[in-house]
Amino acid sequence: MKTRLRPHLLIPVALLAGLAGLLATSRAADDKKAAAPRPALTVTTARPATARLPLRLAANGNVAAWQEAVIGSESNGLRLREVRVNVGDVVKKGEVLAVFDADVVNADLAQAKAALQEAEANAAAAQADAGRARALKSSGALSEQQVTQYITAERTAAARVAAARATLSQQQLRLKYTQVVAPDSGIISARNATVGAVAGVGTELFRMIRQGRLEWRAEITAAELPRMKPGLKAQVKAASGTTVNGTVRTVAPTVDPQSRVALVYVDLPPSLSSNAPLKAGMFAGGEFALGESGALTVPQQAVVVRDGFSYVFRLNQDNRVSQVKVTTGRRLGERVEVTAGLPADVLVVTSGAGFLNDGDLVKNVATPAAQPATPVAAR
């Protein structure tokens, strides 16, 4: 005989079975949720972009005077009476720099003038005698020898006049040389003149940077030499950090056989101020502008440097990142050129890249839009 459950007992049994099923489903969901990996970091991504970046060539070299004039003494045995300029002074062409004592020269000049007057008087008397001798030559009153003597005396007197005039010119030139004048406008860069010293001919008194012009003598390797052309623009950085613009004037026709470098001469703007950022004798670095070219760039924060190498993190379809070794090049603002190792159609991590490792799971969020700048009222 079969036993039948009573209807009022079936309801609790069904409730218990349903509750057990719900508990099992909830427990399975919790286990699945606990087993799912959590993202290591929330990041933003971007694709590499193309841009036109300037081509520049860095170089180093010395700053020197475009032309340095040596101003020496043209007087011999005279005492230096006055020195009117010093190192750093700006002078103009023809300006008197120093003065020698001219008393001895003035005395010699007066003697030369007197000698010229005497020679001219003797020449006038000899000319008159020669004239009378020529007139009496046909009459026979004077012999041929006497006529010749008078004519010779006339020519000798004329030669003495010419010699006296030359001596006078020499003394006048000596008087002129007692004043040392600037051969051109510029800046006095060195002074050897001392008041009271007796200078000989050719003694160096001053050095001057002509017209205040300087040049940068950049050292370029033989491989880069074909890219250098007259007219190229250059930027020279002074020790103070100031940048000075220049222009390539010429390229040296030879390469140094020891260092294997050639000199490129860059004209710098003339400056007669003592506060100029560049001075002759400085060692300065700079760059030559060679144009521009296309480049694949990524944000600067996307590049991570580890163990001396540059890396970026590529975001894969499974939201995991792969560390990719790249080669970087030029920089422009917040962008860095990638020359090798990165395709142009991948997503790279921008913010948070420095905290990631290869294979990390990340959460990618959209990059927030830039907020418009709030205008500031002028004060």
Sign of the dihedral defined by the CA atoms of residues 45, 47, 48, 50, in that order: negative
Query: The tokens 């040296």 sit on which residue?
Result: 252
Return the structure tokens found at 223. Answer: 């491989």
Work out whether strand 49-65 and strand 214-221 pair parallel, antiparallel, or are unpaired: antiparallel
Instruction: State yes or no: pLDDT of 127 exceeds 50.
Output: yes
Return the structure tokens found at 170. Answer: 């020499």
Work out whether strand 309-315 and strand 321-332 pair parallel, antiparallel, or are unpaired: antiparallel
Cα(171)–Cα(245) distance, integer angstroms: 50
Indicate the range of 44-53, 108-117, 189-198, 363-372 predicted with least confidence. Answer: 363-372
Within 10 Å of residue 180's Cβ, how many Cβ atoms?
26
| Share above pLDDT 70 across residues of the chain, in percent, rounded to a whole number | 86
Mean pLDDT across 80-105: 93
Q: Per residue in 280-290, pLDDT tens?
A: 889 999 999 88
pLDDT band at 1 (very low <50, low <70, confident <90, very high): very low
pLDDT of residue 209: 92
- The amino acid at residue 106 is N
pLDDT band at 168 (very low <50, low <70, confident <90, very high): very high
pLDDT of residue 16: 59
Contact 239, 284 (CB under 8 A): yes
Q: Per residue in 240-274, pLDDT tens?
A: 888 999 999 999 999 988 888 999 999 998 877 76
pLDDT of residue 36: 60
Instruction: State yes or no: pLDDT of 195 exceeds 90.
Output: yes
Residues 6+ apart with CB under 8 A from 298: 46, 48, 49, 312, 335, 336, 338, 342, 348, 350
pTM above 0.85, yes or no: no
Phi, psi of 214 (to 5 degrees): -115, 165
How far is CA 357 from each of CA 37, 46, 70, 154, 207, rounded to the nearest angstrom?
16, 18, 67, 112, 64
The phi-psi region of residue 38 (left if phi > 0; otherwise alpha if psi is between -120 and 50; otherwise beta) is beta
pLDDT band at 26 (very low <50, low <70, confident <90, very high): low
The domains located in the chain, with CATH, are 41-53+293-365 (2.40.420.20), 57-66+212-291 (2.40.30.170), 75-100+179-211 (2.40.50.100), 102-177 (1.10.287.470)
Helix, strand, coil % (nearest 5) of the chain? 30, 35, 35
pLDDT of residue 29: 52
Q: Per residue in 52-72, pLDDT tens?
A: 888 888 999 999 999 999 999
Return the structure tokens found at 246. Answer: 């220049």
Within 10 Å of residue 267's Cβ, how many Cβ atoms?
17
Contact 328, 337 (CB under 8 A): yes
pLDDT band at 12 (very low <50, low <70, confident <90, very high): low
| Share above pLDDT 90 across residues of the chain, in percent, rounded to a whole number | 43
Q: Per residue in 205-219, pLDDT tens?
A: 999 999 989 999 999
Element (H, E) at 55: strand 49-65
Work out whether strand 41-46 and strand 362-365 pair parallel, antiparallel, or are unpaired: parallel
pLDDT band at 372 (very low <50, low <70, confident <90, very high): very low
